[in-house]
Chains A and B, each alone.
Chain A
Amino acid sequence: MTNRINKKLQEDKKLLSIYFTAGYPNIDDTVTTIQNLEKNGVDMIEIGLPFSDPLADGPTIQASSTQALKNGMTSELLFEQLKDIRKTVSIPLIIMGYFNPMLQYGVDAFCKKCQEIGIDGLIIPDLPVDVYHSDYKSIFESYGLINIFLITPQTSDERIRFIDSVSDGFIYMVSSASTTGAKSGFGDEQEAYFTRIANMKLNNPQIVGFGISNSDTFTQATKYAKGAIIGSAFIKHVTNNGVDTIDQFVKTII
């Protein structure tokens, strides 16, 4: 069976992926958020498993993570909330989270749960490529999970080629040297980076994330890349408007 991520990447369109924090704004919003995102034409979802110390995240996602943890979110509860998600939703679902909670759950047990629920991939910013390779790759693969790697404007061509060679699905292109949500709008630097990567003609398609907040930045990011991921801007929307107005947010992008 082809992984849903790879199937999605075959479609002849630019993909919109949305990141949200599980259990935020309210603990029971997780499933509604996923359903509303799919219903309104979003292509892929990153479900953020909140962490107490999210190193790569800016203030918006830090705050949503803190609140979600206060609401009582845990790995166990997230799996419980998602156990029937495949009865209603068919788009690719990716869990994005930091490594320590997965390590405490047990990497094998975590991956097994993901497979049972129908999760397609994981993004773990603080699990480096080499450690993944030597210690965890066989576990992920045995449960049919794709692990997505990041590249940044500072990543050397050589390392990008290496990451491309060990990647499946897509490469997560971090738009600028920043934590999530930090920059507003793209300048010449991003344009140069986007073209540099496009010209490398990598095997895996790229999806751009960090700093994409509206239809302008979405269009710019997807000029060369296969898709783009919106996180902080979406979190801000649900903070102010709740999860029943997700249609309004998606309409402003696509």
Chain B
Amino acid sequence: MSYNINEKGYYGEFGGAYIPEMLYPNIEELSQNYIKISEDPSFKEEFNQLLKDYVGRPSPLYFAKRLSEKYNTKIYLKREDLNHTGAHKVNNTIGQILLAKRLGKTRIIAETGAGQHGVATATVCALMGIECVVYMGEIDIARQAPNVARMKMLGAKVVPALSGSRTLKDATNEAMRDWINNPVNTHYIVGSVVGPHPYPDMVARFQAIVSEEIKTQLKEKEGTENPDYLIACVGGGSNAAGTYYHYLDNTDVNIIAVEAAGKGVDSGQSAATSVLGKEGIIHGSKTLLMQTNDGQITEPYSISAGLDYPGVGPMHANLYKTGRAEFIAITDDEAMTAGLELSQLEGIIPAIETSHALAVFEHKTFNPDDIIVVNLSGRGDKDLQNYIDYFKL
């Protein structure tokens, strides 16, 4: 059994492309071309060159000595926060912008929650000289102001999503509606492993550079490619998918997926989809999502805008359903505390999304000789105001 995608675009029973006919030509064009284009040697060369010279890859695999001492185990941090633009998101946007160019597209749209994906998209559009429109929930615009400013400075147009909960899910709806209205010249750069097939697989492939590097880096440092545990936070699931990718079918390696419990899984203010979700369809994908009994998608809550999504990608729904991954839900408070701890033990201020992954060490005890790799998916600059308000700094 493989935990990767099958030829029909499903992970187990999850995935597929549940899209209106208006989007069929776009999705079909992508499905027919994404592997052909991204496997082409000239594409790979350009992709790898940009990852190296522009993004700054490979990102370091850093042994976190003081953190390891505190939890009496061996913790490595995969430093995606050191990428240009400050998070893993740029791996995907570099890949998709090169793909869009090869498809002859002249306009880019994107959705964003925390603004990291929006910034990463605006950045590659500036790099390529392509028009960029980013949809962002009105509430997220307010809580991620620095990233809104960055997108504008990079020349992107930021359009507030005013419908529904005015967060990531609604920004995604607006981007899809834009695509319906502009089907020919526009490419939609989806920011996570969500949406209709082939997006989950395409984004996972572009993020797979993370686990590819972990393999060689860990081999160098520990003499083995295999950690005992991989840990990543899951919003839509792209940094997690990249972390797991080359280990999906290697069951010697344990996988931990960390979701946002918000104010507590049972508080009614949570984004812990694996616990609270049921199978259904969101943004064109059959997956787990938070919904009412009547099938209306509900509004999630997390202090972290990047985890505030009522679904998870179909890969993760399958990892949950099959038991391949252990899912852990972390509250706002636990995450904030873990963020402050990393700052003071290692001198690294993480994004609040990432802080959720780091809080696992308070939840679960590891053996002293366990090798653990945590995806440090992003840096905390964008969240400073939240940290300041929370800790009254």
Q: Is the CB of B282 within 8 A of A100?
A: yes
Q: Is the CB of B295 within 8 A of A100?
A: yes
Q: Is the CB of A75 within 8 A of B295?
A: yes
- In the complex, chain B residues whose CB is within 8 Å of the CB of A76: 294
- In the complex, chain A residues whose CB is within 8 Å of the CB of B284: 55, 126
* Contact pick for B180, options A56, A59, A99, A156, CB 8 Å: A56
Q: Is the CB of B278 within 8 A of A104?
A: yes
A69 to B291, CA, bound (A): 13
- In the complex, chain B residues whose CB is within 8 Å of the CB of A54: 173
A74 to B295, CA, bound (A): 9
Which of B20, B281, B283 lies at the interface centre, i.e. has the most chain A CB atoms within 10 A of its CB?
A: B20
B21-29, B89-97, B124-132, B379-387: which lies at the interface = B21-29
Q: Which residue of B lies closest to A77 (CB)?
A: B294
The answer to whether B184 has its CB under 8 Å from any CB of chain A is yes
B16 to chain A, nearest CB (A): 7
* Contact pick for A154, options B19, B25, B278, B295, CB 8 Å: B25
The answer to whether B17 has its CB under 8 Å from any CB of chain A is yes
- In the complex, chain A residues whose CB is within 8 Å of the CB of B169: 53
Q: Which residue of A lies closest to B294 (CB)?
A: A74
Question: Which bracket fits the contact residues of B?
Answer: 35 or more
Q: Is the CB of B164 within 8 A of A52?
A: yes
A136 to B293, CA, bound (A): 21
Q: Which residue of A lies closest to B178 (CB)?
A: A179
Q: Is the CB of A177 within 8 A of B180?
A: yes
Q: Is the CB of A125 within 8 A of B20?
A: yes
Contact (A128, B176) CB under 8 Å given A69-B296, A100-B297, A179-B181: no
Q: Is the CB of A154 within 8 A of B297?
A: no
- In the complex, chain B residues whose CB is within 8 Å of the CB of A69: 296
A31 to B306, CA, bound (A): 43
Q: Is the CB of B24 within 8 A of A128?
A: yes
* Contact pick for A51, options B19, B279, B296, CB 8 Å: B296
A101 to B25, CA, bound (A): 25
Q: Is the CB of A53 within 8 A of B297?
A: yes
The answer to whether B363 has its CB under 8 Å from any CB of chain A is no
The answer to whether B160 has its CB under 8 Å from any CB of chain A is no
Q: Which residue of A lies closest to B280 (CB)?
A: A100
Interface residues of chain A: helix, strand, loop or mixed (majority): loop
Q: Is the CB of A155 within 8 A of B24?
A: yes
The answer to whether A58 has its CB under 8 Å from any CB of chain B is yes
The answer to whether B65 has its CB under 8 Å from any CB of chain A is no
Contact (A152, B22) CB under 8 Å given A53-B173, A99-B281: yes
A98 to B289, CA, bound (A): 15
The answer to whether B49 has its CB under 8 Å from any CB of chain A is no
The answer to whether B18 has its CB under 8 Å from any CB of chain A is yes
A76 to B296, CA, bound (A): 13
Q: Is the CB of A101 within 8 A of B16?
A: no
- In the complex, chain A residues whose CB is within 8 Å of the CB of B183: 154, 177
* Contact pick for A127, options B18, B24, B291, B295, CB 8 Å: B18
Q: Is the CB of A154 within 8 A of B20?
A: no
The answer to whether B102 has its CB under 8 Å from any CB of chain A is no
* Contact pick for B21, options A51, A53, A104, A149, CB 8 Å: A149
Q: Mark A120-164, 1 if CB is under 8 A from B, else 0.
A: 000001111101000000000000000001111011100100000
Q: Which residue of A lies closest to B181 (CB)?
A: A178
A244 to chain B, nearest CB (A): 29
Q: Is the CB of A100 within 8 A of B22?
A: no
A66 to B181, CA, bound (A): 22
A74 to B282, CA, bound (A): 18
A171 to B298, CA, bound (A): 33
- In the complex, chain A residues whose CB is within 8 Å of the CB of B283: 53, 55
The answer to whether B344 has its CB under 8 Å from any CB of chain A is no
A2 to B17, CA, bound (A): 33
Q: Is the CB of B164 within 8 A of A66?
A: yes
Q: Is the CB of B24 within 8 A of A179?
A: no
The answer to whether B6 has its CB under 8 Å from any CB of chain A is no
Q: Is the CB of B17 within 8 A of A150?
A: no
Q: Is the CB of A99 within 8 A of B18?
A: yes
Contact (A104, B294) CB under 8 Å given A125-B20, A126-B281, A150-B21: yes
A66 to B299, CA, bound (A): 13
B143-178, CB < 8 A from A: 163-164, 169-170, 173, 176-177
A15 to B170, CA, bound (A): 35
The answer to whether B343 has its CB under 8 Å from any CB of chain A is no
The answer to whether A102 has its CB under 8 Å from any CB of chain B is yes
Q: Is the CB of A104 within 8 A of B295?
A: yes
- In the complex, chain B residues whose CB is within 8 Å of the CB of A151: 21
A215 to B121, CA, bound (A): 44
Q: Is the CB of B177 within 8 A of A125?
A: no
Q: Mark A98-115, 1 if CB is under 8 A from B, else 0.
A: 111111110000000000
The answer to whether B182 has its CB under 8 Å from any CB of chain A is yes
Q: Mark B326-351, 1 if CB is under 8 A from A, else 0.
A: 00000000000000000000000000
A152 to B26, CA, bound (A): 12
A89 to chain B, nearest CB (A): 25
Sampled A-B contacts (20; CB under 8 Å): A52-B164, A52-B298, A53-B173, A54-B173, A55-B284, A66-B163, A99-B281, A100-B280, A100-B281, A101-B294, A102-B295, A104-B280, A104-B294, A125-B20, A126-B18, A128-B19, A154-B183, A174-B21, A177-B22, A177-B181
Q: A131-B16, A177-B22 are in contact. List 8 more A-B contacts (CB 8 A).
A: A52-B296, A59-B163, A76-B294, A104-B294, A126-B281, A177-B181, A178-B22, A179-B180
